[in-house]
Structure 1
Amino acid sequence: MGGNGKFHKWKIFYRPSPSKSDETHRREPPPKEFICPICECLMFDPVVVSSGETFDRLCVRVCRDLNFTPSLSDGSIPDFSTVIPNLAFKSTIVNWCSKSSAAPPQPPDYSSVERIVRGLMSRQGGAEEGKSRIRCTEMELIDAVAEMPDVNLSHAVTELAHRVNHFYSSSSEESVVMTTNPPTPLPLATRPACLSLSSASTSDEILNPNPNSEDEEFVAKFNSHDVYEQEQGVVALRKITRSDEHCRISLCTPRLLSALKPLLISRYVAVQANAVAVLVNLSLEKTNKIKIVRSGIVPPLIDVLKGGFSESQEHAAGALFSLSLEDDNKTVIGVLGALPPLLHSLRSESERTRQDSALALYHLSHILTNRLKLVKLGAIPTLLVMLQSGDLAGRVLLVLWNLANCAEGRSAMLDQNAVEVLVGMLRRNEFDSESIRENCVAALYALGHGSLRFKGLAKEAGAIEVLKEVEKGGSERAREKARRILLMLRGREDGEEGDRDGILELGGLSRTRHRVGGGVGKNATIANSTEF
């Protein structure tokens, strides 16, 4: 049979399977952000610290046990006083390991991490060991705050004049003149409402240090055990940072911020109020915003917003709003727990606190994780009640518009009859400005994307008749959005998706950078024109 040619001999070729070493060689290295800066391994239990960096929990614990604070590769010094689990980041690391066929991270050994940390201590030198300090937790500081004693400190308490009807806003991104009836949407406000054109104090006892001096004098006064010395220091710093941009930049050092931090929760009203006001002034400069958050000042700032003195709460809301303007700060501020007290502050008796809290929530809700947290906190019913009462309608609409741009927020708003509320506002036409009316139409438009349920609720609320009136008599942008919603309700949606540029254009804005008094783009000055 083998020689009749009817059968052929087949040669079978075997391709050798790749060895484990080859797979390892081809495997992509883990992203840099998954690696703990201290042990340089995949993080098993990632946590966010007060200064915003992420470490493995055991590494933070060992550093605290050894009273050691490492200097990171970028030269920054982390603050380990507050540790918050980062469950979302942990899940991301596990998912990456699964997709890339990498071994999942294993819990580190305490003794191994201790050897690594001690090696860092020896490499950074004895000078660093001398600088290492025993930290107390934020709760320990809060527990030490007693009620205000019967001490008259009025000689240094600063007085703020009645809020003027307008103020100027300027930053490196945009600038606008805010008036009683602003012609443009409110998110362009980049200055806290607690700022005033008037002098921060009328006291003759305020120090007037040389603006060009370094921070040693202030640090010495802040670290003093004499309350009067502390008070003189914060009032003087508040005064010079109110009007001097150069001082705001040069004095915002890690040493000064570290010394200022415990004064934020002082039990003396004059010290606490002026210390938080100093923080507002320093946060006006874009270059300072990330530096302040990384100094670990956000947790005590949140504590002031929760239970500080009335004036201090105004400044704390303003500081959180100012810091939230920086994109890199938004996630950190949300993780550190600012959203619940900001939401609660919308009911504050102080108008300034309410205004700045609403704007802080608007900027923080640009981040999806913060939107989801606000939905879980039950923010939507509170915001809709405020909208119906007319309190901060313009700012509340902006927050609701952000929430409507995620599926969870959209669903929750539909559950809470947001369509009926928004249509009712348009029907009554009781708006302080045309921009608020435009934002109301925009929020309604955002609710309608990809939702068959919206169509039924809108028709039931009588939206078609109301939107026809807007299409006839509204502004150009309101008419355009009303037309698109009507097309959507008639089943001819053009497929355009809501985006952040749309809301800016809707309110008469663009991403072109402007400044008050002329100048565009990089050449525009960013000097602050309103001082505190």
Structure 2
Amino acid sequence: MARKGVVSDEGTVTDADTSTVAAKAKAVEIKKQLERLVKAIVDEDDYRVETADEAIRALSYLKDLKSKKSLSFKLQGGGGGGTVVIPKEFRCPISGELMADPVVLATGETFDRPFIQRWFNEGHRTCPQTKQVISHTVLTPNHLVREMVSQWCREHEIELPKPVQDIDEQLVTNADRGCLNSLLEKMSSSLSDQKAAAKQLRLLTKRSSSFRALFGESTETIPQLLNPLSPGQVDAHPDLQEDLITTLLNLSIHDNNKRLVAENASVIRLLIESLEYGTVQTKSNAAATFFTLSAIDSNKITIGASGAIKPLIDLLDVGHPLAMKDVASAVFSLCTVLENKERAINAGAVGVILIKIMDHVLVAELLVILAMLSNHQRAVQEMCELGAVPCLIGITRESDCERNKENCVAILYTICFADRTKLKEIKEEETTRGTFSRLVQTGTSRAKRKASGILERLNRTGSITHTA
């Protein structure tokens, strides 16, 4: 009978499945983290309480790992018991494990691919063995060592370890799961605990994609996170609200979380309230959350039906300049769905956008939205009533931005066919300055098509005389 095993910390092959590799590698990661935390505590007189808490959690984790499973095993099988020492040259210098995917660094040293890759991902640009600064981070497969490891495994009737592709993600996830649960539990504790936990969650979800992914493991994590925010009193503690809404934004960046967040009606209600009440940063991040969630078409419909568009338009109207760009991005993304265009028009989007454009606020971003809405008859009617034509002609004539000119002429093209009374202004611009003829020659391909269409429309209504 063949014997199967993996490597222990002592360099022996053990009778365990491949999860042991991840567990031990995880212990290595936790020890590194603990070393950094202890150094911070020792070196700084005024170290943060959170740093001590993290160190305690790391120690507790290592203690639990040690008590749950000894890392020293015997090799068992039909051939009898005993331990087999792994040759040093077959062990990764970083992990101490039998190398499953040996690669050569620029310095000539060999490492297991996932561990050296993680070393680079952490920002290091030196060889862990020689401490040399490396000229490049290209990793070359070491086929000779790979074959030697395979042969050694066959001789000792040991299963060759499979290469681990996502070990960094797995390590961080496993190490942080307990930390996440602890922080979420504090969301039902005292206000001071809630605030401290919220700050830490905001930081962790910003830095780590794997920590963001953890929230997708259970439908209960998001409600737990937002437990301190009460509907109707969402801004009772503005700093706490800002940290939690920002955490929600960080989570929504992760693709697997987008539906989890958007399909929770209570979450959407809290985001809508945060558009109306809270710090400028809170409002901006609530809008940005709607933008990231709307990357999925089904979420666009859900968010639109929830009543979020009206508060977004209101925030665009009276909001702080820092929040407006996020609001504009959210409105644009949501309005790619037909139903939401109607909602935006009903919410007064056309008037708000035109006023901002006339005030030279976010002209490029808002022209894109206006062009999108211009295929709706009522939106065009409102544009004509609110004096959009002179504004759009002015931008077409004077702007240095080709994209702005393109969107303006696209809107004017629609207006030409929707309201004959506006042809006079457009015709006068062409007769006096030749703005649209010039755009036919120099504009983008879309701008050329729209400008040509305008000229054809004008020609059908009467002759055009150009001035030099």
TM range (shorter): 0.5 to 0.7
Per-residue deviation, residues 188-244 of structure 1 (Å, max 9, x unmatched): xxxxxxxxxxxxxxxxxxxx99335474223211122x1121122222221221122
Matched residue, 1:423: 393
> Does residue 1:372 correspond to 2:342, yes or no?
yes
> Does residue 1:242 correspond to 2:206, yes or no?
yes
Matched residue, 1:303: 273
Moved over 6 A (4+): none
Q: Which amino acid aligns with 1:236?
A: Q
Q: Is the 1:455–1:489 Cα contact (8 Å) retained in structure 2?
A: yes
Per-residue deviation, residues 113-132 of structure 1 (Å, max 9, x unmatched): xxxxxxxxxxxxxxxxxxxx
Matched residue, 2:426: 458
Matched residue, 2:411: 443
Q: Is the 1:289–1:323 Cα contact (8 Å) retained in structure 2?
A: yes
Residue among 349, 356, 359 paired with 1:389: 359
Residue among 442, 467, 481 paired with 2:450: 481
> Does residue 1:353 correspond to 2:323, yes or no?
yes
Secondary structure of 1:210's aligned partner: helix
- The 1:349/1:376 distance shift into structure 2, 3 A limit, reads closer
Residue among 256, 280, 294 paired with 2:221: 256
- The 1:210/1:304 distance shift into structure 2, 3 A limit, reads same
Q: Which amino acid aligns with 1:284?
A: I
Matched residue, 1:227: 191
**Deviation at residue 392 of structure 1 after TM alignment:** 0.4
- What is the distance in 2 between the residues matched to 1:390 and 1:315? 23
TM-score (norm 1): 0.49
Q: Is the 2:351–2:386 Cα contact (8 Å) retained in structure 1?
A: yes
Per-residue deviation, residues 64-112 of structure 1 (Å, max 9, x unmatched): xxxxxxxxxxxxxxxxxxxxxxxxxxxxxxxxxxxxxxxxxxxxxxxxx
Residue among 274, 278, 282 paired with 1:312: 282
Q: Is the 2:309–2:344 Cα contact (8 Å) retained in structure 1?
A: yes
**Deviation at residue 261 of structure 1 after TM alignment:** 2.5
| Structure 1: 5+ residue stretches without partners | 1-153, 157-207, 493-532
- What is the distance in 2 between the residues matched to 1:270 and 1:155? 19
Q: Which amino acid aligns with 1:261?
A: L
Q: Is the 1:472–1:479 Cα contact (8 Å) retained in structure 2?
A: yes
Q: Is the 1:375–1:412 Cα contact (8 Å) retained in structure 2?
A: no
Q: Which has the higher contact order (CA 8 A, sep 6+)?
A: 1
**Deviation at residue 474 of structure 1 after TM alignment:** 3.0
Matched residue, 1:399: 369
Structure in which a larger fraction of residues adopt helix: 2
- Report 1:177-216 matches (<5 A): 210-213=175-178, 215-216=180-181
Q: Is the 1:209–1:236 Cα contact (8 Å) retained in structure 2?
A: no
**Deviation at residue 302 of structure 1 after TM alignment:** 0.8
Q: Is the 2:262–2:268 Cα contact (8 Å) retained in structure 1?
A: yes
- What is the distance in 2 between the residues matched to 1:490 and 1:262? 64
Q: Is the 1:305–1:313 Cα contact (8 Å) retained in structure 2?
A: yes
**Deviation at residue 460 of structure 1 after TM alignment:** 5.1
**Deviation at residue 394 of structure 1 after TM alignment:** 0.8
Q: Is the 1:234–1:275 Cα contact (8 Å) retained in structure 2?
A: yes
| Structure 2: 5+ residue stretches without partners | 1-47, 51-172, 462-468
**Deviation at residue 281 of structure 1 after TM alignment:** 0.4
Q: Which amino acid aligns with 2:183?
A: F
Q: Is the 1:343–1:379 Cα contact (8 Å) retained in structure 2?
A: yes
Q: Is the 1:214–1:251 Cα contact (8 Å) retained in structure 2?
A: no
**Deviation at residue 362 of structure 1 after TM alignment:** 1.1
- What is the distance in 1 between the residues matched to 2:237 and 2:448? 54
TM-score (norm 2): 0.55
**Deviation at residue 342 of structure 1 after TM alignment:** 1.1
Q: Is the 2:364–2:404 Cα contact (8 Å) retained in structure 1?
A: yes
Q: Is the 2:367–2:408 Cα contact (8 Å) retained in structure 1?
A: yes
Matched residue, 1:285: 254
Per-residue deviation, residues 491-527 of structure 1 (Å, max 9, x unmatched): 49xxxxxxxxxxxxxxxxxxxxxxxxxxxxxxxxxxx
Matched residue, 1:496: none
**Deviation at residue 393 of structure 1 after TM alignment:** 0.4
Q: Is the 1:345–1:354 Cα contact (8 Å) retained in structure 2?
A: yes
Secondary structure of 1:270's aligned partner: helix
Q: Is the 1:371–1:409 Cα contact (8 Å) retained in structure 2?
A: no
Q: Which amino acid aligns with 1:439?
A: N
Aligned residues: 285
- The 1:448/1:231 distance shift into structure 2, 3 A limit, reads same
**Deviation at residue 396 of structure 1 after TM alignment:** 0.8
- What is the distance in 1 between the residues matched to 2:263 and 2:182? 23
> Does residue 1:294 correspond to 2:294, yes or no?
no
**Deviation at residue 339 of structure 1 after TM alignment:** 1.7
- What is the distance in 2 between the residues matched to 1:291 and 1:434? 39
- What is the distance in 1 between the residues matched to 2:245 and 2:186? 16
Q: Is the 2:215–2:222 Cα contact (8 Å) retained in structure 1?
A: no
Per-residue deviation, residues 249-271 of structure 1 (Å, max 9, x unmatched): 22233211111234342522321
